[in-house]
Amino acid sequence: MIRRIVATALAVTTTVGLTACGSNSSSEGSTDAVVIGASMMLSGQTNLETIRDGYQWAVDEANAAGGIDVGGAKRKVTLKILDNRGDTNTMVQQVRSLALQDKAAALLGSCCQQNIDMSAQADSLKTPLVMGALPIELRPDGKGYVWDSFQSLVDGAGGFFQVAATAGTNKKILLITNNDSQGKSTADLYKGLAGKAGFTVAVSTDAPAGTTDYSDAIGKAKAAGAEVVIASMTPPDCFAMWKQMKALAYTPKLAIGLQCAQTPGWASLGAVGAGTLVQMSWIRTSGLPKADEVVSKYSAKYPNDNDLSSVALGYHEATILLAAITKAGSTDHEKVNAAIGQTDLSSALGKVSFAGGKSATPSFVGQWNADGTITQVWPKQGASALKSLSGLA
């Protein structure tokens, strides 16, 4: 009897709860705030607070101007950002909750592999998603609701080989990547370009994310005399490998950390990370719109250009979305989606014009300094001279 009472109470509670949960109504056609949602890694192994700050900056700027113009009416923007702790399951549930319960007009992206998983949700929910932090070649084909404005791997790789050609190495490469889609694409791309640039891939290997022992790859690279390291890996893996290269006295003359040296946290390697090259979509010497404002507004909080580039990225993505909502004159998903496709503006990462859901931003190659700052080494305009790979010397 008691169990039956408990079960009944539970059923009633659940039903009431579910009903309450579903009481939100669509903001379409209303003067309520426009909701934009994002599920991001804000705690755990990777912290994207830099990108979040960029999102918030764009929204604050819009709200300070009285909101955005939606169909002739000024509406404030509410940016609802949830921390998914880097957990895929949490991310999926949050994205679905943002789209279905919070009635978000559109979504903003997270980073890396999460953006791939999030893309499937955006297509499934028919909710526009504007994202960066995932090279445009890696964005999976979908149903047309995902928009990626970020750098192109090809452009960055071309820049890297131009820099590498001047570094005085024996042109033998250790190529190591994660075994995910980004890693595989990167490996294929660099293998193809290496031959054309006169380099030889002496050792090529991949490893699942989470690998902690790279002694085998390092041993092979030493045996092959590889003086150039190209690593495309998640940050913790990369950090482990850089420390092991140092510990095992492997002394390449040139190294680039794709993904990993580009994410917040690389500076934690300290002197070991000095001299490593990094591919970037923004740098203070880039001459891009708002570059000075990014520096003046955020350099006290984020001293190095790597973090500042993420702030610029966040601002860039959010600006694209806000402009599209205004252009659509509506928060209707289909109208906003169509408007994003017609974007024609210039923001913190340069000009935006989508083709096939992608709009490439400029590429830069930077070099980490021992003091945690980054110096542009490519392209020539705004660049300084390449220094030695002192961290692994």
Residues between 143 and 202 that touch another protein (CB under 8 A): 143, 178-184
Of 17, 192, 270, 287, the residue at the interface with another protein (CB under 8 A) is 17
Of 63, 69, 78, 85, the residue at the interface with another protein (CB under 8 A) is 85
User: Binding to another protein by residue 222, rule CB under 8 A?
Assistant: no
Residues between 127 and 146 that touch another protein (CB under 8 A): 140, 142-143
* CA–CA separation, 316 and 349 (whole Å): 6
Cβ burial of 22 (10 Å; 0-12, 13-18, 19+) is: exposed
Of 2, 300, 355, 385, the residue at the interface with another protein (CB under 8 A) is 2
**Pairing verdict, β 172-178 and 228-233:** parallel
User: Binding to another protein by residue 204, rule CB under 8 A?
Assistant: no
Contacts (Cβ under 8 Å, ≥6 apart) of 232: 176, 177, 178, 182, 183, 186, 187, 258, 259, 260
Contacts (Cβ under 8 Å, ≥6 apart) of 131: 108, 109, 110, 115, 118, 119, 146, 147, 148, 150, 317
> What value does the CA radius of gyration of the chain take, rounded to a whole number of Å?
23
User: Binding to another protein by residue 47, rule CB under 8 A?
Assistant: no
- The residue among 296, 334, 294, 340 whose CA lies nearest residue 315 is 294
- The residue among 307, 312, 314 whose CA lies nearest residue 372 is 307
Question: Which of these ranges, 50-58, 79-87, 279-287, 295-303, lies near another protein under the rule CB under 8 A?
Answer: 79-87
Of 34, 58, 92, 324, the residue at the interface with another protein (CB under 8 A) is 92
For the four alpha carbons of 365, 57, 290 and 348, in that order, the dihedral sign comes to positive
Question: Which CA distances in Å does 80 have to 103, 104, 186?
Answer: 11, 9, 33
Query: End-to-end alpha-carbon separation of the chain, Å?
Result: 76
Of 28, 61, 69, 87, the residue at the interface with another protein (CB under 8 A) is 87
- The residue among 142, 125, 78, 128 whose CA lies nearest residue 342 is 128
Q: Which C-beta is closer to another protein: that of 112 or that of 328?
A: 112
Q: Which C-beta is closer to another protein: that of 33 or that of 248?
A: 33
Please give the full DSSP string across 339-389, using - where no structure is assigned. HHHT--EEETTEEE--BTTEEEEP-EEEEE-TTS-EEEEESSTT-------
User: Binding to another protein by residue 82, rule CB under 8 A?
Assistant: yes
Question: Site size for another protein, by CB under 8 A?
Answer: 54
User: Binding to another protein by residue 16, rule CB under 8 A?
Assistant: no
Of 30, 31, 45, 88, the residue at the interface with another protein (CB under 8 A) is 88
What would the two tokens of residue 37 be? 């949602």
User: Binding to another protein by residue 380, rule CB under 8 A?
Assistant: no
Of 154, 167, 193, 209, the residue at the interface with another protein (CB under 8 A) is 209
Amino acid at 123: D
Q: Which C-beta is closer to another protein: that of 112 or that of 374?
A: 112
User: Binding to another protein by residue 351, rule CB under 8 A?
Assistant: no
User: Binding to another protein by residue 10, rule CB under 8 A?
Assistant: yes
User: Binding to another protein by residue 56, rule CB under 8 A?
Assistant: no
CB of 215 to another protein, least distance (A): 19
CB of 149 to another protein, least distance (A): 21
Q: What angle do CA 153, 241, 216 make, to 5 degrees?
A: 105
User: Binding to another protein by residue 97, rule CB under 8 A?
Assistant: yes
What would the two tokens of residue 375 be? 């110096």
- Which one-letter DSSP state was computed for residue 391? G
Q: Which C-beta is closer to another protein: that of 68 or that of 92?
A: 92
Q: Which C-beta is closer to another protein: that of 6 or that of 393?
A: 6
Residues that bind another protein (CB under 8 A): 1-7, 10-11, 13-14, 17-19, 21-22, 24, 42-43, 82-85, 87-90, 92-94, 96-97, 100-101, 113, 116-117, 119-121, 123-124, 140, 142-143, 178-184, 208-209
